Structure 1
Amino acid sequence: MLYLTMKRLFIILLSFSSFSAVAQRLSPADRAALDKLQDSLRAISYDVINGKEQSVREERNDYFIPQLVNALKTSYSYYYPFDSLKTVAKIYPQDSTFRIFTWPLENDNSTFRHFGVIQMNTKDGALKLFPLFDNSDFSKNMDTITNNRGWIGCLYYAMIQKRYFNAEYYTLFGWDANSQTSQKKVIEMLTFKNGEPVFGGPFFSFAEDTVPKPARNRFFIEYKREAVAAMNYDAEMDMIIFDHLISETNEPLKKYTYIPDLDYEGFKWQAGRWVHVEKVFHDALQLGKYPIGQPADKKRTDYVKPKMDFEIQEEEAAKAAEAAKKGKKKKKD
């Protein structure tokens, strides 16, 4: 039996301060009702992730979806954080106009389907919801522009918002465990046209590359299942930064052999597009920008409390300092 193997992720939940400011919109009765519904959803979602058989995971997932929708029908449920649903990723844009829930369902062959919803923040508290239907298994071309019914499924772990010519652009960061041999990370743009979500678009430009290439509608990296590859937004540099990958066996057509090589690429926001930067650091790696030295230990993987790369680095540094401290104490004794 195969169990869900999750790599170290990071989930950035933005705009939590907005909840405290408007939480009063939830009546005490509705909040109490949502507390009970969340308890039930938490138990169901645990089985979706940890059920020992695919049939059990699917059955619980089929039950989880309508129960989640039922909870979201509560007036002003947008302001209820559902923070006990640890197996469901929740991300918010800076303007807090919507939020996205996503979660995975593992098949017995270690491939995944993804599920999700977009909940809009409505003025009257009524539910406006866009279900996300994973079309990955039926789409050979991933470089597409889709709606919520043709969604390229993944687990969203972060979102950043950019504005250009009075239009809002939401960049989504996603992760897909993919298969037994490789995993993927993706960045794509979410926009709204006539109030409807649109995923993808020619927002990823390679015009400034040494050898220019056509723009892409979304950008993927695929790499070895046991490797750790970063794809994050650096606010200080105002750039998307990700690991440059190479084949460890010199077989570039086999993505499952790709690993980070201690170099970085990126995207910078220019005139409403993300423009590719072939090499971010030319002289030396900046402090805090170095990759994780060792692949993630599967036994230590914690999906319930995902961590950012720098948090892992800080933990390792703290452990090293503690070990050194104990060593000194032993010498004194």
Structure 2
Amino acid sequence: MIRMQGFTVLLVCLLSTSAMAQRLSPADLAALTQAEDSLRAVHYDVVNGKVQEFRSSRNDQFIPQFVKTLKTRYSFYYPFDSIRTMAKVYPQDSTFRVITWQLENDNSTFRHFGVIQMNTKDGSLKLFPLFDNSDFTRNTDTVTNARGWYGCLYYAIIQRHYFNSEFYTLFGWDANSQTSQKKIAEMLTFKNGEPVFGGPFFSFAEDTVPKPGRNRFIMEYKREAVASLNYNPEMDMIVFDHLISETGEELKKYTLVPDLDYEGFKWKAGKWVHIEKVFHDALQQGKVPVGEPMNKQKVDITRPRTAEDINKETLEKEAQKGKKKKKNDN
């Protein structure tokens, strides 16, 4: 999975560089490069500023400055790679890109911001601002437009073609609160040229005990835990951690942690159909993994850890424990 993702990223970078060289004039390229330097400094403060008032002020400064920069013809082909505090995802057909970022409140909750920039033929700007509505609705299983967006940082996107239509599955992360965080999978479609988030695309009809479908799949779990939700190209399916409660209180999301078992979704007839068990290596009952405290300095908000990362780290830790035990036995 990592190799394929790396190859895909490299291919996209090469294609973007080629397209940028062909579309952007030297003058526009120079202007975008200069603007990026200024935007990077401002946006660093949006994410890393010491107090909320300063972070909010810098965010208010960043938004119009960023939109003005995007008005440069063919700015779609400019990657803004040096602004690492923003998450950027492109579908396979490169018809648009989604750019998202977060603003932390002093109470450790988060508000998200973002835009969908369309890839226009004449290079003009066609932009859909995204307005985070997640704090103002109790019903998370909704179908919304850009103004009712369920805010998060998108870290991956995959595309599916079905019945002459394109379906884009987005994967997002929400740091959420002091006690829990979330991973999100949702469908993005376009109706009459406008973005639509969510829809009846997550089916649980094939479960042992069938359950109603969902318009959006959300995993909420303990803040200090690490859980994965992503597409695995080798298996051609979405794979995510199975969660259990540390305290036996399944309804309290902040107690949920991975047990090293995995569930998934398989694309069938225009829907993601739930697979109850992907692997068969769950921990013994009652053996709950202990999470490590989140170190914000080491968190890459544009690249949450994958199942492969977690499995590799687990194997390395087990190997270290085995060496230590062998040494003690000797």
TM-score using structure 1 length: 0.86
Contact 2:228 2:305 in 1 (8 A): no
Q: Which residue of 2 is the match for residue 5 of structure 1?
A: none
Structure 1 pair 272/18, CA: closer, same or farther in 2 (3 Å)? same
Counterpart amino acid of residue 298 in structure 1:
M
Correspondence for 1:18 among 11, 15, 18 = 15
Q: Which residue of 1 is the match for residue 80 of structure 2?
A: 82
Q: How far apart, in 2, do the equivalents of 1:158 and 1:233 lie?
A: 8
CA deviations 1:201-256 (Å, max 9, x no partner) are 00000100111111110000100000000111100110100000010100111100
Counterpart amino acid of residue 291 in structure 2:
P
Q: Which has the higher contact order (CA 8 A, sep 6+)?
A: 1
RMSD: 2.6
> Residue 15 of structure 1: SS of its match in structure 2?
helix
Q: How far apart, in 2, do the equivalents of 1:102 and 1:294 lie?
A: 31
Report the identity percentage: 68
Contact 2:71 2:124 in 1 (8 A): yes
CA deviations 1:52-111 (Å, max 9, x no partner) are 111101000011011110110000000000000100000000000000000000001000
Correspondence for 1:34 among 26, 32, 35 = 32
TM-superposed CA distance for 1:16, in Å, is 2.4
TM-superposed CA distance for 1:17, in Å, is 3.0
Q: How far apart, in 2, do the equivalents of 1:64 and 1:42 lie?
A: 9
Q: Which residue of 2 is the match for residue 73 of structure 1?
A: 71
CA deviations 1:96-129 (Å, max 9, x no partner) are 0000000000001000000000000000000000
Q: Which residue of 2 is the match for residue 263 of structure 1?
A: 261
Counterpart amino acid of residue 93 in structure 1:
P
Task: Name segments (4+ residues, structure 1) moved above 3 Å.
Answer: 10-14, 293-297, 304-322
Q: Which residue of 1 is the match for residue 158 of structure 2?
A: 160
Match runs of 1:11-160 below 5 Å: 15-23=12-20, 24-160=22-158
Q: How far apart, in 2, do the equivalents of 1:200 and 1:126 lie?
A: 28
Q: Which ranges in structure 2 are unaligned for 5 or more consecutive residues?
A: 283-288, 323-330
Contact 1:15 1:93 in 2 (8 A): no
TM-superposed CA distance for 1:307, in Å, is 5.6
Q: How far apart, in 2, do the equivalents of 1:317 and 1:211 lie?
A: 33
Correspondence for 1:298 among 294, 299, 305 = 294
Q: How far apart, in 2, do the equivalents of 1:46 and 1:151 lie?
A: 24
CA deviations 1:131-164 (Å, max 9, x no partner) are 0000011111010000000001001010000110
Q: How far apart, in 2, do the equivalents of 1:132 and 1:321 lie?
A: 45
